Amino acid sequence: MTPLADALDKLVAAARTAGLDETAARAEGEAVAATVSERSRGAFVDWCAQTGRERSAEEHMLAAKRGNRFRAGPTPLMAQLLLEKSGAAADYAGALADVAIAGSALGEPGPDAIGAATTVTTAQMGGGFEARTLADLTPPSSVPGAFDLPSRQPVPGLGDQMLDQVRRVGEQVRRQLGALNDASPSGVEVPGAPAPGLEASQAPITQAAEPEEPVEEPAEEPEPTKTVEELLAELDGLIGLANVKGEIHRQAAVLRVEGLRKEAGLESPTITRHLVFNGNPGTGKTTVARLVAGIYRALGLLSKGQLVEVDRSELVAGYLGQTAAKTAEVVKSAEGGVLFIDEAYSLSGDQYGKEAIDTLVKEMEDKRDDLVVIVAGYPLPMAIFISENPGLESRFRTTIDFADYTDDELVSIFASMVKGADYDAGEPVLARLREILAATERGPSFGNARFVRNLMEAAIGHHAWRLRDIATPTVEQLRALEPEDLVVDPDDVAPAPDGEVRPPADVEPAAPVDPFGDDDTVARKPVPAAEPTTADEEEQS
């Protein structure tokens, strides 16, 4: 069995143990592997073969697009386990990590795939565990060349088991880097195998040891719900988005007064809570949607406040009649929270999409007291989409426009991401970033914050590549990014004449087109050293 196929089977087994939907788990794993390998030449061939599909670059591209959100936050099933503080969360996160590592070996892998695997893996540790990267992994003296994790506070509900998973991921990434440095593709190792030069007894621990006697842990206090003021403060802490912040503040004030009027027995006009988010990729729409879900919950308008993010592929089925049931199931999972439909205009134009829209309108009416729907996408197609559907036009009366970020804002976002990932980017690195941004054309497909996140992921991979021959790098070396780590086009990875895969040479800035742009990447404003804050998981990866 191939590494990816084996990793997917183990992911499904972990989902079965956790009581999760096995089909949904496999779909998550395939999307994770696709997004990790999307920039590796020829990866779609291996991905299709190892997932049992006929060869199709389009299938790989669509799966990578779905998986892009997992580079910024937990998958839906992982988020569910973290929310429930399930004891199965660590095992499922570890299985997702195995899939990411296996995905990084597809096609002709390079440092960019390693960077993507690292960010996807650490993103799954969100919701109770700070996103960590290779900068956290320092070599212990007992096992030369291996990585260990600095002492950290236990994770509520997960404890040392999650830390063991992170240690294991770090060791797998180290081995993968070693495999990429071999002269032939056959050197790529199966994730989970002992590292070269280590006996089986010396291999990193992959699971927390079972205690001889069960130890009862004290019951945990439920986490307090954030207040409206706290959530609005988080919103204000985001970089840029001045217009968005003002509109969300206004919405919160209007809905608060509406609730107070109802409590006082006064008549109040029905105010639609559904929203349209217009903006190009990477402008923070998903991040703001998460905050809106929390704000609505804090106002008592929603019972749970979760965010369920979908696109056309997760609403439309392959046959007429099946789409209604599929859409209804998705809406059911979002009840009590916010259903976020990205590129909602893709539902227009055919009978399958119309069936999804008709079902959505009915479900919005049936669940109007405990469901909010946010549709998002490019401005012009969204305007046409809403105007062509009377059922939607009457329900979506508030539109919020997300402007593109300026160069200064993108540099601040990059610096925040790097700091949150425990790397150092000095002024020479930021100056190099400014050069790249100045030379990059801005069009509708420009990724905004997603663009600089891609640069950071590639930089992480190139940073690791630079250190691959250093047995015991210093903490400073583990943290410091260099200007040459910023590669404009991570796709430019070509095999050397001797067959060894090498990182691409630095190239002059081009105008890359990012067809997989999402907007799950936003960073917060820098804060004074006296008041450190940690950005949420979707901003760290």
Q: Within a domain: residue 231?
A: no
Domain containing 394 equals: 241-402
Cα 374 from Cα 274, distance rounded (Å): 6
Give the torsion sign (CA, 420, 423, 426, 431): negative
User: In 271-321, where do the E strands start and end?
Assistant: 275-279, 307-310
Mean pLDDT, rounded, for 422-441: 93
User: In 345-484, where do the E strands start and end?
Assistant: 372-377, 398-402
Residue 183, pLDDT above cutoff 90? no
pLDDT tens readout for residues 339-351? 999 999 999 888 8
Cα 452 from Cα 447, distance rounded (Å): 8
Sheet holding 307-310, edge to edge: 307-310, 338-342, 372-377, 275-279, 398-402
Residues 6 or more apart from 483 whose CB is under 8 A from it?
Answer: 428, 429, 431, 432
- Which of 379, 402, 425 is the last residue in one of the domains? 402
Is the domain of 414 the same as that of 369? no
The CATH number that applies at residue 441 is 1.10.8.60
Q: Within a domain: residue 419?
A: yes
What local confidence, expressed as pLDDT, does residue 524 receive? 54
Which of these, 176, 101, 147, 168, lies nearest to 473 by C-alpha position? 147
Cα 184 from Cα 50, distance rounded (Å): 20
What local confidence, expressed as pLDDT, does residue 503 receive? 39
Crossing angle of helices 3-18/76-84, nearest 10°?
40
Q: How confident is the model at residue 377 (pLDDT cuts 50, 70, 90)?
A: very high
pLDDT tens readout for residues 465-499? 888 888 888 999 989 999 999 987 644 333 333 33
Q: How confident is the model at residue 402 (pLDDT cuts 50, 70, 90)?
A: very high
Find the length of the chain: 541
Token reading at 396: 């979506």
Is the domain of 449 the same as that of 395? no
Cα 290 from Cα 475, distance rounded (Å): 35
**What Å distances lie between residue 164 and 18, 96, 142, 160, CA to CA?**
19, 14, 17, 6
Q: How confident is the model at residue 522 (pLDDT cuts 50, 70, 90)?
A: low
pLDDT tens readout for residues 193-211? 333 333 333 333 334 444 4
Q: Within a domain: residue 167?
A: yes
Three-state DSSP state, 498: coil
Q: Within a domain: residue 31?
A: yes
Residue 439, pLDDT above cutoff 70? yes
Is the domain of 438 the same as that of 382? no
Mean pLDDT, rounded, for 244-255: 92
Token reading at 336: 């009590």
Q: How confident is the model at residue 192 (pLDDT cuts 50, 70, 90)?
A: very low
Q: Within a domain: residue 420?
A: yes
Q: What is the residue whose two structure tokens read 């590549």?
A: 465
Residues 6 or more apart from 359 whose CB is under 8 A from it?
Answer: 323, 324, 327, 328, 331
Higher pLDDT, residue 146 or 218 = 218
What local confidence, expressed as pLDDT, does residue 507 receive? 36
What local confidence, expressed as pLDDT, does residue 121 receive? 84
Token reading at 442: 């801005």
Residue 508, pLDDT above cutoff 50? no
Cα 248 from Cα 101, distance rounded (Å): 39
On average, the pLDDT of the chain sits at 75
Which of these, 539, 443, 531, 430, lies nearest to 482 by C-alpha position? 430
CB atoms within 10 A of CB 394: 11
What percent of the chain is predicted at pLDDT more than 70? 71
Q: pTM here?
A: 0.67
Mean pLDDT, rounded, for 303-321: 87
Q: How many domains does the chain have?
A: 3
Residue 530, pLDDT above cutoff 50? no
State CA 176 to chain mean position distance. 22
Assess contact for 94 and 445: CB atoms under 8 A.
no
Q: How confident is the model at residue 175 (pLDDT cuts 50, 70, 90)?
A: low
Is the domain of 377 the same as that of 445? no
Q: What is the residue whose two structure tokens read 């996408």?
A: 377
What local confidence, expressed as pLDDT, does residue 146 receive? 32
Assess contact for 11 and 84: CB atoms under 8 A.
no
Read off φ and ψ for residue 393, nearest 5 degrees.
Answer: -60, -35
Of 155-164, 176-185, 334-343, 371-380, which gets the smallest average pLDDT? 155-164
Q: How confident is the model at residue 178 (pLDDT cuts 50, 70, 90)?
A: low
- Which of 361, 376, 402 is the last residue in one of the domains? 402
pLDDT tens readout for residues 65-108? 888 888 877 888 887 787 677 888 888 988 998 999 899 889 98
pLDDT tens readout for residues 256-297? 888 888 888 887 776 778 999 999 989 999 999 999 999 999
124, burial (CB in 10 Å: exposed 0-12, middle 13-18, buried 19+):
buried
What local confidence, expressed as pLDDT, does residue 208 receive? 42
Is the domain of 57 the same as that of 29? yes
Is the domain of 394 the same as that of 415? no
Cα 291 from Cα 217, distance rounded (Å): 32
The radius of gyration of the chain from alpha carbons, rounded to an integer in Å, stands at 23
Residue 255, pLDDT above cutoff 60? yes
Assess contact for 487 and 506: CB atoms under 8 A.
yes
Q: Within a domain: residue 235?
A: no
What local confidence, expressed as pLDDT, does residue 523 receive? 54
Which of these, 508, 515, 510, 523, lies nearest to 456 by C-alpha position? 523
- Which of 202, 224, 252 is the last residue in one of the domains? 202
Higher pLDDT, residue 326 or 119 = 326
Q: DSSP character for 284? A: S
473, burial (CB in 10 Å: exposed 0-12, middle 13-18, buried 19+):
middle
Q: Within a domain: residue 448?
A: yes
Counting Cα atoms < 13 Å in the Cβ hemisphere of 142 gives: 4
Higher pLDDT, residue 384 or 509 = 384
Q: Within a domain: residue 214?
A: no
Is the domain of 418 the same as that of 398? no
Is the domain of 474 the same as that of 367? no
CB atoms within 10 A of CB 451: 25
Is the domain of 333 the same as that of 385? yes
Is the domain of 389 the same as that of 443? no
Is the domain of 162 the same as that of 253? no
pLDDT tens readout for residues 26-49? 999 999 999 999 888 889 999 999
What local confidence, expressed as pLDDT, does residue 77 receive? 86
304, burial (CB in 10 Å: exposed 0-12, middle 13-18, buried 19+):
middle
Higher pLDDT, residue 162 or 16 = 16
What local confidence, expressed as pLDDT, does residue 128 receive? 34
What percent of the chain is predicted at pLDDT more than 90? 34
Is the domain of 419 the same as that of 388? no
Cα 295 from Cα 224, distance rounded (Å): 14
Assess contact for 134 and 116: CB atoms under 8 A.
no
Mean pLDDT, rounded, for 358-363: 92
Of 139-143, 360-364, 406-410, which gets the smallest average pLDDT? 139-143
Mean pLDDT, rounded, for 357-376: 92
What local confidence, expressed as pLDDT, does residue 432 receive? 95
Of 13-22, 102-111, 147-156, 315-324, which gets the smallest average pLDDT? 147-156
Residues 6 or more apart from 492 whose CB is under 8 A from it?
Answer: 504, 507
